[in-house]
Structure 1
């Protein structure tokens, strides 16, 4: 992340920088998208640039200082090869079919060849498209900061995600949300932005030729090893189910809540996509609803695994017309797709149990681990103990010391019922002693490598937002640096401390 004083006017560097853009998605044809230019952003300025995402692209760290960079990533101009387009998709929102949706405030710019393979770039907040549904197509600085910070924070945590290359703001363009706010544009990066909803769109409208075309594009581009399977449709669904299971298991393990798991917000590559009313758990509450707009609690933390499977069922229904026996033996086709979805059930349980074993520092796998972990989570929930701090402090646990020993005080103090903690701690100590070859030092190092010291809590984001809204972007940039090393103890202890009392009143909604 560049320091604020390094941000300079557009075009200060004289040497050339010209990444080559292409866009294989264009070959699908106009039924899949609309080509259009972004709406100009008046008087744009840099807010932040991600060094890590820059490295992912293989670009020089000063790319943003090159001629035309600010104009290109504010939507005011295009670099050679960029072909801005908005794709069409549909989907289920809060469990209800919502009809046609599409990129209402996002524009695909094209693909660039990166060291690890092609990556797509996309502007979010670049103005209205044919899919904006009477919206303005813009994003506000508040929500854009949250997406920028969380995209890169999730990547640093090792959780599959879309990335954020840069964030551009405009003091001149005012946007009406709950209040009047200033506009911003985030540049998102991913191997693909294809969603479940892209397939739902063509299936729902009976456009099976286009559905087949889209599937073949996905198969050849992102899942070529599935092409030789006895049934490529089943193979692709099983792949997506497994990736989705792994992703949501990682969400649960780190205490992340997406907030709006609509089918149009589900990635075909198992990426975390569309950061809006997300949240990281403070006091552990499995029923917590991070999205203030989610009045029925459909996307509460504990329901995320179930919703992941529900969404996969919607994808399976969309893929059904592509099954070879869809017309001749519908029952057999449905059964084959159902078997593919079983991958989700098996993988999710394995992935989550493995992740929780790692968080508790358990080297081997014993039958008793599931109950020990469940009881640990019940203990956290009973006391609404801080999820991130509890796991981080657990790394200092010494099985040779009694639960009430001073070394355990920072952890023990997170639980009002000391006796309940002590009872669980004795069981935990006995379990740790069964791995005789494991030293406390090596276990602590392993646990600190999977239990973050810092996550993007809402109050940290809000502090950065308030300063940015006043024209000071230094906290956005500082916080991004801290979040890029989440497993290191931060220089500022407040970044890894219990949230302040005022944080309890923070709310995020779909406009966030």
Structure 2
């Protein structure tokens, strides 16, 4: 039996000045007959908990929504936002409840991490919904959260996943589940939009101060700037870096509404996400997105549009100094371009910077796009280009590829390091394993038959996406043709 004692946890109060203006107390509705599907050892370690914490006699009740530990208080927060480019008004945590922010007790990392149950029943903001999450979408969120962390991409994390035989209606009847998400904060652009739209100047000002307390001081310089300007500048920088990460790894979010954008630059709310199989810049992973607003190639510009909405909300506090907000906002395009090119150079194995690098990158992406080549495999095999690693993939574009490869090999040979060192660096940034949609579908199908071992196996594999894992080699194969037919929606 675990020695973990939840009575000794220290809970922090993060927004005391705002109280129920921001966070409304709300009791969860626990799942009947809950069963552990999986837990993340890595997240437990981030919390400073032993990896067997889930064996505590009360843990299953707490993380299925039926009980609270001492110091916990379940609340739902209110926010507003723009959805698919249209102002949607008040939204809020419709199926999520924060349990509080627990002090980690660690000497490194965040001093506190917020725990949030997703799928624990209706809240004051459910808008006639049932507040539940289904096992299918919960598995996708649980595994993608941890996969993104394994890839080194800022993200909310997933501590646990609990299943239940409780049935809920979506397109069909499905069984319910609860994910426990973990993050330093779940503050969204939409929280700021909400108080700006309602004209609550004092609450917006306090929320800015609370948000600033989440950032390291070195991200908030110069201190002479107004708080809203300092916050926007930090959010712009983090968002630019995040979107560069997404584009580099081929991640499509699918629903980049302002209420799905993290103030801390974290990947947030995994709904109809997808990692690209064939490299298709115009790919739309959400079949609800009929206009392609959130297509893969549009994610950088959508992020900037969302930042403009955040700046618009913060302008309520900066009536006389709106130019400073505009200047902070204007940092996004160059910051994104710099971050994206840095990631492209790393993926190409380049240490230095040459004027022709951008053309080299674009020509490579054109090859991938025109040939609809697998994004993950092509980048991975690029590390072995001189040994013919890409020949099988590039057979249909042999002439064009040969011309590009000649330029690329000349470029890398001008680098100061040995080829073996460059290869190892490339393999450390170009993953071999990602959570492909068809693989997730297979894991979900097993789980729906109460076989949770594939979830746990997939979790362990995704924790080491850059490593050779011979026992999981099948997961690094080209996707089957039927994978392209899988449709994802906002309920995915």
Which of the five TM-score ranges fits, normalised by the shorter chain? over 0.9
* Residue 121 of structure 1 pairs with residue 115 of structure 2: yes
* Residue 367 of structure 1 pairs with residue 347 of structure 2: no
1:43 Cα deviation from its structure 2 partner = 0.6
Partners of 2:195 and 2:225 in 1: CA distance: 24
CA RMSD of aligned residues (A): 1.4
Q: Identify the residue that residue 410 of structure 2 maps to in structure 1.
A: 430
Partners of 2:459 and 2:4 in 1: CA distance: 28
* Residue 220 of structure 1 pairs with residue 213 of structure 2: yes
TM-score, length-scaled by structure 1: 0.92
Partners of 2:181 and 2:438 in 1: CA distance: 24
Contact persistence 1:390–1:411 (CA under 8 A): no
Partners of 2:351 and 2:44 in 1: CA distance: 36
Q: Identify the residue that residue 460 of structure 2 maps to in structure 1.
A: 481
Q: Identify the residue that residue 251 of structure 1 maps to in structure 2.
A: 246
Partners of 1:13 and 1:284 in 2: CA distance: 46
Partners of 1:13 and 1:432 in 2: CA distance: 52
Partners of 1:136 and 1:214 in 2: CA distance: 29
Structure 2 regions of 5+ residues with no counterpart? none
3-state SS of 2:191 partner: helix
Distance 1:379-1:202 versus aligned 2 partners, 3 A rule? same
- Give the counterpart of 2:344 among 356, 368, 371: 356
- Give the counterpart of 1:108 among 86, 98, 103: 98
Q: Identify the residue that residue 311 of structure 1 maps to in structure 2.
A: 306
Q: Deviations over 1:329-348 (max 9, x none)?
A: 4xxx3322111012211110
Partners of 1:248 and 1:24 in 2: CA distance: 27
What does residue range 30-45 of structure 1 map to in structure 2 within 5 Å? 30-45=20-35
Q: Deviations over 1:114-151 (max 9, x none)?
A: 12211000000010001011110000000000000000
1:434 Cα deviation from its structure 2 partner = 1.1
- Give the counterpart of 1:284 among 276, 279, 286: 279
What does residue range 39-438 of structure 1 map to in structure 2 within 5 Å? 39-114=29-104, 115=106, 116=109, 117-171=111-165, 173-222=166-215, 226=220, 228-323=223-318, 326=319, 329=320, 333-398=321-386, 407-408=387-388, 410-435=390-415, 437-438=416-417
Partners of 1:297 and 1:411 in 2: CA distance: 33
Contact persistence 1:412–1:421 (CA under 8 A): no
* Residue 21 of structure 1 pairs with residue 11 of structure 2: yes
Contact persistence 1:240–1:269 (CA under 8 A): yes
1:304 Cα deviation from its structure 2 partner = 0.2
Structure 1 regions of 5+ residues with no counterpart? 1-11, 399-406
Q: Deviations over 1:362-411 (max 9, x none)?
A: 1111111010001100110000100000000000122xxxxxxxx31544
3-state SS of 2:98 partner: strand
1:220 Cα deviation from its structure 2 partner = 3.2
Contact persistence 2:384–2:390 (CA under 8 A): no
Q: Identify the residue that residue 494 of structure 1 maps to in structure 2.
A: 474
Distance 1:495-1:208 versus aligned 2 partners, 3 A rule? same
The 10-residue stretch of structure 1 (27-36 or 385-394) with the greater mean CA deviation from structure 2: 27-36
Q: Deviations over 1:456-487 (max 9, x none)?
A: 11011111000000110010000001000000
Contact persistence 1:393–1:410 (CA under 8 A): yes
Count residues in correspondence: 484
TM-score, length-scaled by structure 2: 0.96
The list of structure 1 runs, each at least 4 consecutive aligned residues, that deviate by more than 3 angstroms after superposition, is 12-18, 220-227, 409-412
Partners of 2:447 and 2:332 in 1: CA distance: 41
Partners of 2:389 and 2:297 in 1: CA distance: 29
